[in-house]
Structure 1
Amino acid sequence: MELSLRVTGLRVSFHGRTAVEDASLDLPRTGVTVLLGRSGSGKTTFLRALNRLNECFPGCETSGSIVLYPCGAPVSPAEPGTGCDVLGPHAPPLTELRRRVGMVFQTPNVLPMSIRRNLLLPLELVRGRLDGAEARMRAALADVGLWDDVRQRLDRPAAQLSGGQQQRLCLARMLILEPDVLLLDEPTASLDAATTQDIERLVRRLAAARPVLMVSHSLGQAARMADRVVIFADGRPQREFTPAELGGDAGREALMQALL
């Protein structure tokens, strides 16, 4: 299996209290991997560790190995095509890591500025002034199915968009940076049923070209979207299920038992 990420022996603690313990997981190059588990099992902390967002919180200590493939920019002596440990001495700069491993959160976090600036400002900060930035903005908005809705109001505040539109904008803001890996933390939790279906279809389409690692609390959503489901408990991945195993009553019962 060709990998995008390999996590080995990951441990994350806050002020000495362990949230993730001895967690290991391989993430393939494409497809949707869904993490299922009870609240407090460590899923979101695990997700945030992959682009080192936990380090934004005081008292965080992280150890283990998170290898990103390929290593990419010449920030290590690794051979082309090999991976680099984002927790190691030759890790990419945080800006580059978070560009390559993008994350969208449960609640849309649009910037307090126009729709246009929500997309162009991150692009400028990460990439600098680029020729064709407007074209990239349009392509990102079209990719998430938002262009037709906002093309006449790009200079209006992003906060005026509906919840579902804001979540699509957050996805577009991530995609304009051309990430290698998408991390989604319950991206439909605050959305209505119709918008949830739209976002699920969008994520499935995006996963055809890149890996998606998504936290969810919904067995139904996992059955609809996942190429594989990973049960998360006690701070680490515990069991994996294939779509075929999820398809019948026996698979759903096994999942329920694993989550209790």
Structure 2
Amino acid sequence: MDKIKLSVHHMDMYFGSKQILKQINIDFPEHKVTALIGPSGCGKSTLLRSLNRMHDLSPEAKIKGEIQLDGQDIYDRRISVNDVRRRIGMVFQKANPLPKSIFDNLAYPLRIHRFPKHEIPGMVQHALEESYLWDEVKDELKKPAVKLSGGQQQRLCIARAVVLRPEVILMDEPCSALDPISTNKIEELILRLKRDYTIVIVTHNMQQAQRISDKVAFMYLGELIEFGDTDQLFRRPSQELTKNYVNGHFG
């Protein structure tokens, strides 16, 4: 039986008076890729961002229920949001390299968290190797990160997420702005990273969800309609709404 790394219990979420998520209950198994699917505006990215307290930045946001990492509520007031985000990394839809060199994009968060200076070069190299980028950039680490191609920039952002050695990586449509070749590299990378990390990914691409995920959660209008093994959900969904969505009848 899969060990549960991250779990959501009876979660409601509001922005002001508007309810965005309704009674979400879901378990994310360790060392698996879980894909969140559903039409635009159904709450996928809102749920994803709640998993490492990104909504703390919005005074309008209010969350009820619990989100637990290894059984501990990440919204407990005694827990630092910085500690949560070190353990649960985030990769956004659009690559967002810092206006620094390739090396400093990864060294910066290590310095912020006060890692020993002598350890930083090795940690940067390891993260770039994990992200299948080292061989492409090892001779130009002082080059501005913004000079990299779009696919390389996104892999750099993944490297920046893993350099702190998190336990969970959240990805919000990481391939939506990439060409097919770059998308294929990111998908290969995700399958490699799940050996060491628990991954939750938002995707609108049904084929991508089938290629890379172990579990799939289908959301609609702020509710979790169905959750299960990827093959089962796509081939034999239990809900008619799920069947209509994965067969392309709406979305």
Normalising by structure 2, what TM-score? 0.91
Structure 1 residue 203: deviation in Å?
A: 0.2
Distance between the aligned counterparts of 1:140 and 1:210, measured in 2? 13
Distance between the aligned counterparts of 2:233 and 2:75, measured in 1? 34
State yes or no: 1:240 paired with 2:227: yes
Q: Which runs of 5+ in 1 are unaligned?
A: 70-82
Structure 1 residue 232: deviation in Å?
A: 1.0
Distance between the aligned counterparts of 2:81 and 2:60, measured in 1? 18
What is the count of residue pairs matched by the alignment? 246
Other-structure match for 2:53: 52
Other-structure match for 1:18: 19
Structure 1 residue 248: deviation in Å?
A: 4.8
Distance between the aligned counterparts of 1:247 and 1:20, measured in 2? 23
Structure 1 residue 158: deviation in Å?
A: 0.6
Which aligned pairs between 1:94-133 and structure 2 lie closer than 5 A?
A: 94-133=81-120
SS at match of 1:132: helix
Which aligned pairs between 1:165-184 and structure 2 lie closer than 5 A?
A: 165-184=152-171
Please report the RMSD computed on the Cα atoms of aligned residues, expressed in angstroms.
2.0
Distance between the aligned counterparts of 1:204 and 1:146, measured in 2? 15
- What amino acid is the match of 2:48? L
SS at match of 1:194: helix
Distance between the aligned counterparts of 1:51 and 1:259, measured in 2? 30
Distance between the aligned counterparts of 1:210 and 1:143, measured in 2? 11
Other-structure match for 2:246: 255
Query: Taking every aligned residue pair, what percent have the same amino acid on both sides?
Result: 36
Structure 1 residues 46-55 or 245-254, which shifts more?
245-254
Distance between the aligned counterparts of 2:10 and 2:234, measured in 1? 31
Distance 1:258 1:133, change over 3 A: farther
- What amino acid is the match of 1:205? R
Structure 1 residue 118: deviation in Å?
A: 0.4
SS at match of 1:230: strand
- What amino acid is the match of 1:58? P
Q: Which runs of 5+ in 2 are unaligned?
A: none
Other-structure match for 2:182: 195
State yes or no: 1:208 paired with 2:195: yes
Distance 1:3 1:130, change over 3 A: farther
1:68-121 CA distances to partner (integer Å, 9 max, x unpaired)?
11xxxxxxxxxxxxx21111233x211110010001011001111111110001
Contact 1:68 1:86 in 2 (8 A): yes
Distance 1:12 1:246, change over 3 A: closer
Normalising by structure 1, what TM-score? 0.88
Other-structure match for 1:27: 28
1:164-210 CA distances to partner (integer Å, 9 max, x unpaired)?
00000000001110000010000000000011011001001101222
